[in-house]
Structure 1
Amino acid sequence: MDALDTHPAEEPRESPLRAEHEALGASFTDFGGWLMPVRYTSDLAEHHAVRQAAGLFDISHMGEILVEGAAAGEFLDHALAGAISAVPVGKAKYTMILAPDGGIVDDLIVYRLQDEVFLVIANAGNRETVARELTHRVAGFDATVEDQSDDYALIALQGPAAERILGAVAGVSDQSPSLDGIRSYAWGSAFFEGEPLLIARTGYTGEDGFELLLPVGRAVALWRAVLAAGEPHGLVPAGLAARDTLRLEAGMPLYGHELSRDIVPAQAGLGRVIPPGKTGFVGAHEPRPDARVLIGLTAEGRRAGRAGYGVHRGDELVGEITSGALSPTLGHPVAMAFVEPSAADATDLTIDIRGTRIPASVAALPFYRRNS
Structure 2
Amino acid sequence: MECKTTLYDTHVKYGGKMVPFAGFLLPVQYGTGVIAEHMAVRTACGLFDVSHMGEILCEGEAALDNLNHLLTNDFTSMVDGQARYSPMCNEEGGVVDDLIVYKIRDNHYFIVVNASNKDKDFAWMMAHKLPGAELKDISAGVGQLALQGPKAEEILLKLTDKENLPVKYYTCLIDRAVAGIRCIVSKTGYTGEDGYELYMDAGKAPELFEALMEAGKEEGLIPCGLGARDTLRLEAAMPLYGHEMDDTITPLETGLSFAVKMKKEDFIGKAAIEAKGEPTRVRVGLKVTGRGIIREHETVYANGEEIGITTSGTHVPYLKCPVAMALVKKEYAVPGTKAEADVRGRRIEAEVVPLPFYKRTK
TM-score range, shorter chain: over 0.9
Shift of residue 193 of structure 1?
6.2
Q: 1:176 to 1:165 in 2, by over 3 A?
A: closer
Return the match for 2:333 from 320, 341, 344: 344
Map 1:264-279 to 2 at 5 A.
264-279=250-265
8 Å Cα contact 2:45-2:149 kept in structure 1: yes
- Is 2:288–2:350's contact at 8 Å kept on the other side of the alignment? yes
Checking the alignment, whether the CA contact within 8 Å between 2:179 and 2:211 is kept in structure 1 is no
Alpha-carbon distance change, 342 to 40 in structure 1, aligned in 2, over 3 angstroms: same
Tell me, what secondary structure is at the counterpart of 1:156?
strand
**Higher alpha-carbon deviation: 337-346 or 36-45:** 337-346
Q: How far does residue 315 in structure 1 lie from its aligned partner after superposition? A: 2.7
Larger CA deviation: 298-307 vs 325-334 = 298-307
- Equivalents in 2 of 1:245, 1:341: separation in Å? 26
Deviations 1:50-87 (A, max 9, x none): 00000000000100000111221111111111111321
- What SS does structure 2 have at the residue aligned with 1:246? helix
What CA deviation, in whole Å up to 9, does each residue of 1:136-169 have, x standing for no partner? Answer: 22232x2210000001100000000000011112
Partner of 2:26: 36
Q: Secondary structure at the match of 1:366?
A: coil
Provide closer, same or farther for how the CA distance between residues 185 and 302 of structure 1 changes in structure 2, counting only shifts above 3 A: farther
Q: CA deviation at 1:348?
A: 2.7
Letter in 1 for 2:286: L
**What is the alpha-carbon root mean square deviation over aligned residues?**
1.6
Q: Are the counterparts in 2 of residues 250 and 367 from structure 1 also a CA contact under 8 Å?
A: yes
Provide the secondary structure at the position in 2 that maps to 1:127: helix
Alpha-carbon spacing, 1:176–1:143, altered in 2? closer, same or farther (3 Å)? farther
Unaligned runs of 5+ in 2: none
Query: Normalising by structure 2, what TM-score?
Result: 0.94
2:291–2:349 Cα contact (<8 Å) kept: no
Distance 1:302 1:87 in 2: 48
Superposition map of 1:1-372 within 5 A = 11-41=1-31, 42-140=33-131, 142-169=132-159, 172=160, 177-179=163-165, 181-189=166-174, 190-192=176-178, 195-284=181-270, 285=272, 286=274, 287-289=276-278, 291-300=280-289, 303-345=292-334, 347-372=337-362
Structure 1, unpaired ranges of 5+: 1-10
Moved more, 40-49 or 129-138: 129-138
Q: Percent identity?
A: 41
Render the CA deviation track for 1:5-55: whole Å, top value 9, x for unaligned. xxxxxx112111000001111112222222111000211000000000000
What per-residue deviation string (whole Å, max 9, x for no partner) do you get for residues 251-305 of structure 1? Answer: 1001110010010000001112112412321111223546432111102366210
SS in 1 for 2:252: helix
Residue type of the partner of 1:55?
G
For 1:185, the aligned partner's letter is Y
CA distance in structure 2 between the partners assigned to 1:193 and 1:359 by the alignment: 50
Aligned length: 356
Moved more, 227-236 or 287-296: 287-296
If the length of structure 1 is used for normalisation, what is the TM-score?
0.92
